[in-house]
């Protein structure tokens, strides 16, 4: 970013020599939105601000804009996928010190989303994704690969990643999948896009929608909203499903409630 801003200064100076007076600088985007980013956003922001102060001081009156879409939405979405098929192959052991069992078997898992869906970011954005299992396991790990549901050999999500042995029906999840994923997904081979569910913590919900919280109702607990639901519809949906009975109140506090 610092080099790009310096080069932008050179372009502005050339424009002045040619009789142009440019007053707007767009520094672009690509700012990381996940906490696990190799370079944290705070470090990038510090470098950007120093470069702007040096090459485009406020006294010049140049308007500075940016495109921080990824920063805002990357961590807002966690993608879960279901194992729909499994294949076991063999592989010779090449490293005796490797904690992952590479002698065999080697697992190939097929899941219900792929590079033509939410994982298109692997092709178009050169993204790096990390897979996690829903339950921690002390079982030994096997060299594994994860594939999408299409018939295309390009539909590979991850290769040679250590995972405990999974079964068809198990779930995997990928954090920080909010940027440039579903927005560019297709329905190639007739595969539908994943459903979207919205959740938030109670204090955040109450802060954003204080007027919506019914003080005498279980809806103070966190509502569950499907795609396209409005806030009022979520209240009505919760009333319809759970009612206002003591049993419903108890269910709200459970891991399976709203």
Active site residues: 151
User: In sequence order, which residues have a C-beta less than 8 Å from that of residue 177 and are 6 or more positions away?
Assistant: 74, 77, 78, 79, 118, 121, 129
pTM: 0.71
Taking all residues of the chain, what is their mean pLDDT, rounded to a whole number?
81
CA 16 – CA 5 distance, rounded (Å): 17
Cβ-count burial 233-242 (b if 16+ within 10 Å, e if not) = ebbebbeeeb
pLDDT at 99 over 50: yes
One CATH from 3.40.120.10, 3.40.50.1240, 3.20.20.140, 2.40.37.10 for 77-190: 2.40.37.10
> pLDDT band at 247, cuts 50/70/90?
very low
pLDDT on residue 1: 92
pLDDT at 129 over 80: yes
List the structure tokens of 191.
């595969």
Domain boundaries of the chain, sorted by first residue: 2-74, 77-190, 197-252
For the chain, helix, strand, coil in percent to 5 are 35, 20, 45
Poorest-confidence range of 65-69, 242-246, 254-258? 254-258
Percent of the chain with pLDDT over 90: 53
Of residues 201 and 28, the one with the higher pLDDT is: 28
């Amino acid at each position: 970013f610092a080099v790009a801003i310096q080069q932008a200064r050179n372009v502005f100076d050339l424009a002045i020599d040619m009789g142009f007076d440019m007053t707007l600088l767009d520094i672009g985007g690509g700012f990381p939105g996940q906490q696990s980013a190799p370079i944290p956003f705070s470090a990038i922001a510090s470098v950007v601000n120093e470069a702007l102060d040096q090459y485009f001081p406020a006294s010049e009156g140049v308007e500075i804009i940016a495109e921080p879409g990824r920063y805002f939405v990357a961590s807002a979405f966690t993608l879960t996928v279901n194992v729909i098929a499994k294949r076991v192959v063999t592989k010779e052991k090449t490293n005796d010190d490797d904690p992952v069992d590479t002698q065999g078997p080697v697992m190939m898992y097929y899941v219900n989303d792929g590079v033509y869906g939410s994982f298109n970011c692997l092709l178009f954005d050169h993204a790096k994704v990390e897979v996690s299992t829903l339950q921690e396991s002390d079982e030994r790990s096997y060299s594994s690969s994860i594939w999408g549901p299409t018939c295309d050999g390009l539909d590979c999500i991850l290769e040679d990643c250590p995972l405990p042995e999974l079964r068809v029906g198990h779930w995997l999840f990928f954090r920080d999948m909010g940027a440039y994923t579903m927005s560019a997904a297709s329905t190639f081979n007739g595969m539908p896009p994943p459903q979207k569910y919205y959740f938030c913590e109670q204090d955040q919900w109450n802060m954003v929608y204080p007027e919506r919280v019914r003080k005498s109702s279980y809806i103070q607990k966190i509502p569950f909203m499907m795609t396209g639901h409005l806030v009022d519809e979520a209240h009505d949906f919760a009333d319809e499903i759970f009612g206002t009975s003591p049993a419903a109140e108890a269910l709200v506090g459970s891991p399976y409630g709203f």
